Amino acid sequence: MASTDPMDNPARPWILLTPALTAIMLLLIVPLGFIIVYSFWLNTGFGVDTPGFHLDNWISALTDPFYRSILITTIRIALITTVICALLGYIPAYFIATTTFGHKALLLLLLMLPFWISYIIRTMSWINILGSSGAVNGLLQWAGITAEPISMLYNEATVILGLVHFLLPFMILNVYVSLYGIDGRLVEAARSLGCTGWQAFREVTLPLSLPGLAAGGLLCFVLAAGTYITPLILGGPRDAMFANLVFEAIITQLNWPMGSALSLVLLIVLGSVVALYNRFLGLGQIAKSLS
Partner 1 sequence: MTFMPSGWSLIRFATILIYLFMFLPVAVVVLLSFNPAQFGSFPMEGLSTHWFVELWNNDAIRRAFRTSMILGALTAVISTTLGVLASLAMVRYNFPGKTIIATAVIAPILVPEVVLAVALLLFLQFLGIPKSFFLLLMGHVIFTLPFVVLVVQARLVGVRREYEEAAMSLGASQIQTFFAITLPLILPAVAAGMLFAFTISFDDITGTLFWKPGGVETVPTQIFAMLRNSISPEINALGTVMIVVTVALPLLGAALARRLARGVGG
Residues 219-248 that bind partner 1 (CB under 8 A): 222, 225-226, 228-229, 232-233, 243, 246-247
Which helix (H) or strand (E) segment holds residue 64: the answer is none
Binding to partner 1 by residue 120, rule CB under 8 A?
yes
Position 259 contacts partner 1 (CB under 8 A): yes
92 or 211: CB nearest partner 1: 92
- What CA–CA distances, in Å, run from 252 to 96, 172, 247, 282? 47, 38, 7, 39
> Which residues within the stretch 1-30 sit at the binding site for partner 1 (CB under 8 A)?
6-7, 10, 12-14, 16-17, 19-21, 23-24, 27-30
Interacting span for partner 1 (CB under 8 A) from 60-68, 184-192, 207-215, 268-276: 268-276
Instruction: For the segment 55-84, give every residue that binds partner 1 (CB under 8 A).
Output: none
* Residue 122 engages partner 1 in binding (rule: CB under 8 A): yes
Q: What angle do CA 290, 215, 92 make, to 5 degrees?
A: 80
Q: According to the binding rule CB under 8 A, does residue 118 interact with partner 1? A: yes
What's the CA gap between 144 and 27, in Å, rounded?
57
Please state the closest distance from residue 156 (CB atom) to partner 1, in A.
19
Nearer to partner 1, 34 or 66 (CB): 34
C-alpha 88/C-alpha 26 separation (Å) is 40
50 φ, ψ (degrees, to nearest 5): -110, 120
Distance of CA 282 to the CA centre of its chain: 17
Spatial separation of the C-alpha atoms in residues 21 and 1, rounded to whole Å: 32
Nearer to partner 1, 192 or 196 (CB): 196
- Looking at beta carbons only, is 208 or 274 nearer to partner 1? 274
Smallest distance from the beta carbon of 185 to partner 1, in angstroms? 20
Q: Hey, which residues does 50 pair with through a beta bridge?
A: 42
Instruction: Please name the amino acid found at residue 42.
Output: L
